[in-house]
Structure 1
Amino acid sequence: MSLKSFVIPAIDLMKGKAVRLYKGDFSKVKVYSENPPELARRFEELGFKKLHIVDLEGAKEGKPKNLTTIREIRKVFSGEIEVGGGIRDYETAKTLFEEGINYVVIGTLAYKNPKEFEKILGDFPNRVILAIDSKGGKVAIGGWKEEVALSPEKFAKRYEEYPLWGYLYTVIERDGSLEGVDVKPYEEIKKVLKKSLLASGGVSSVEDIKKLYGIVEGVVVGKAIYEGRIRPEEL
């Protein structure tokens, strides 16, 4: 696998724009593009095969708020797209699949309503990624606002025998910080999981990407690309 196919560019949506938060803080927003579909088209031209889209308002409010923009991105990007943020029921997941989205990323629903989550897994096998968002070593849900007394490993293992595609593990303290990655949490969780694992949070350089290569199956990168710390041609 080349580094380029290992990297999944992130487009975080708010009010139809591509933005980044700093460590999940909704008061610390930076707009990177007024035209996310154009950004997606550019990523395709650069040779990326997969996109990671987060509906930030959806994550905060519990239902998708940027569906129109997601639909427009789907029209212009021919590779695989995974979408997370505000997928709190079966119907929302079904709608996204009907829009041609390849994978949905779900965390809160898996914790709060396992029955509904299992129904999605049953009807759409291997198309769901379980979001494991970690803050201080504990799982955070509800747009990262609520911490629960559960370790990332325990949360992941609950669904290891279900037809999940795999997991997306985000270290919230590093997300959008450009502080560099800590490979330890990924190494630890990999010991207990068989399915694929994607990493997210803190990537600041090509060196960070190389550190994760061979430990996880892919890495989501946002701010480092937008701030020019990682140039796609270097991959």
Structure 2
Amino acid sequence: MIVIPAIDLKDGECVRLRQGEMEDATVFSDDPLATAEHWLSQGAKRLHLVDLNGAFAGNPVNSEAVKIIARQFPGFPIQIGGGIRDLKTIERYLDAGVTWAIIGTAAVKNPQLVKDACREFEGHIIVGLDAKDGLVATEGWAEVSDVKATELAKEFQDSGVSAIVYTDIARDGMMQGVNVEATMELARAVQIPIIASGGVSSIEDIQQLLEAGDDNTEIFGAITGRAIYEDKLDLRAAQELCDNWKK
């Protein structure tokens, strides 16, 4: 399993939200590039970038900051989500050096876009499923649909999706621990690699995700944000735990 630091961008700054509320943002840095450099120095194997303004606007807002990071670290694995609603946006990000584009809201409202994107940009598409009580939320979590996360995930089983980022909204930014049960349920429902997100707040959470895996199903990655910014989780120690993990 890999531990993936999150860099959430709002108005050009690195922030963390609580339960996706834009009004409840904590600013951790006004320099996204320096933040990315820091996490790389701590042993990060991948970066998770989110354009928060873009998620609400429906189109990229902080794309320049994303491109600066991608250009600074050519070839380093970077995934970006927020405001990605068409093929042209995906193309621009990939051309800038980003490795994966995350389709979130559009995956719910226009599943065909995911299939088209996977065909057009093979190996570079991730689906972001944000859920509350097992139901998918969209528009920067402002709307909760009647679609079950597991059912939507199955729709993309044979589309060529590289991974699914599964976020439990109720836990995100709340430092309450990851929803291991729901994450494993999704992992068992599909053959797509699952990246856990929301509530990863301590080394114990990382260990729980590792312990939940078995010979048939395991969690591919875990995204962490507030915990590493508030020094509640040591990124290097967490990744070392994963690298040395044996059941």
Question: When the two structures are superposed, what TM-score results if normalisation uses the length of structure 1?
Answer: 0.95
Q: Distance in 1 between matches of 2:236 and 2:130?
A: 30
- Kindly indicate whether the alpha-carbon contact (under 8 Å) linking 2:71 and 2:96 is maintained by their aligned counterparts in 1: no
Is residue 49 of structure 1 aligned with residue 23 of structure 2?
no
SS at match of 1:130: strand
Compare 192-201 and 105-114 and name the one that shifted more: 105-114
Q: Secondary structure at the match of 2:93?
A: helix
233 and 126 in structure 1: CA distance in 2 versus 1, 3 angstrom threshold: closer
Aligned length: 231
Deviations 1:198-222 (A, max 9, x none): 0000111001011112331000000
CA distance in 2, matches of 1:77, 1:176: 27
Q: Distance in 2 between matches of 1:86 and 1:148?
A: 18
| Alignment of structure 1 residues 34-113 onto 2, 5 Å | 34-78=30-74, 79-113=76-110
Contact 2:71 2:97 in 1 (8 A): no
1:27 corresponding residue in structure 2: 23
Q: Where has structure 1 moved over 6 Å in runs of 4 or more? A: none
C-alpha separation between the residues in 2 aligned to 1:205 and 1:76?
Answer: 30
RMSD: 1.2
Q: What is the Cα deviation at residue 59 of structure 1?
A: 0.2
Q: Post-superposition shift, 1:114?
A: 2.6
Q: Percent identity?
A: 38
Equivalent in the alignment of 2:180: 183
Q: 1:120, 1:128 → 2: CA distance?
A: 7
1:177 positional shift = 0.5
Unpaired stretches in structure 1, ≥5 consecutive residues? none
Give the structure 2 partner of residue 234 of structure 1. 237
Deviating more after overlay: 95-104 vs 118-127: 118-127
Any conservation in 2 of the 1:40–1:76 contact (CA below 8 Å)?
no
Judged with a 3 Å threshold, the aligned counterparts in structure 2 of structure 1 residues 199 and 20 are, in CA distance, closer, same or farther, namely: same
Partner SS, residue 150 of structure 1: strand
